[in-house]
Amino acid sequence: MAREVVLQPGELFFGKEDVVLKTVLGSCIAITLWHPEQKQGGMCHYMLPSRRNPSTMLDGRYADEALALLLQAASHYPAPIHEYETKLFGGGNMFTEPQYAQSDHNVAAKNIQAAWQLTRHLGLDIKAHHLGHSGHRSVLFELNNGSVWLHHHRLPHQWESRE
C-alpha cells in the first residue's frame, strides 16, 4: 500500500518510494518529474511566478525557486535531469468575471507562463500538461509508475452583460 503525501503550496517531495503525491491547485502550478527507468520522481507546488526580493534561502512558493528546489532534490539521485519526464498542471482562473481573466493581475496566466519558460530554459521534456481554463484541479501522482491522475473542477460561466 502506497504512502500518501499531501503537498500544500510551497511544498515539494522527491523520492524513490511507493508514494502517492496529492495536491489541489487553483491558480497554482504543480510540476512533476519522473524517471521511467529509475522509478523515481517528485512534484513541487508553487503559488507565484517569482518574488521581487529573493533571499539566499529558496522558497518553494515561487516558480523559479520551487523548480530549483525540486532539481536540487533530484540531484541526490543518479540520473541526469534531461532523462526525466516532466508534466505541468494547474493555472486555473479562479474568477468568472471577464475583467479578471484579461487582467494584468491574472496570477494563473503568469504562473503558466513561468512554468513554460522555466522548463523550456532547462530543456525538460514536457510529456503532458493540463493548464489554464477556470476552476481548480485535484492531482494524484504515483511515484511507482509515473501516472498522474487529474480531476478538473470547472467553475460555471456566470458572465453577465453589464451594459
Question: Do the beta carbons of residue 65 and residue 42 sit within 8 Å?
Answer: no
**Per-position pLDDT tens, the chain of length 163:** 889 999 999 999 999 989 999 999 999 999 999 999 999 999 999 999 999 887 789 999 999 999 999 999 999 998 999 999 999 999 999 876 665 556 667 899 999 999 999 999 999 989 999 999 989 999 999 999 999 999 998 876 544 433 3
Question: What domain range includes position 144?
Answer: 3-153
Residue 158, classed as helix, strand or coil, is: coil
Whether 159 is covered by a domain: the verdict is no
- Which alpha helices (DSSP H) does the chain contain, by range? 63-74, 98-101, 107-122
Whether 36 is covered by a domain: the verdict is yes
The total number of structural domains in the chain stands at 1
Q: What pTM value is reported for the model?
A: 0.91
Please report, for the domain that includes residue 30, its CATH number.
3.30.1330.200
Whether 9 is covered by a domain: the verdict is yes
Whether 163 is covered by a domain: the verdict is no
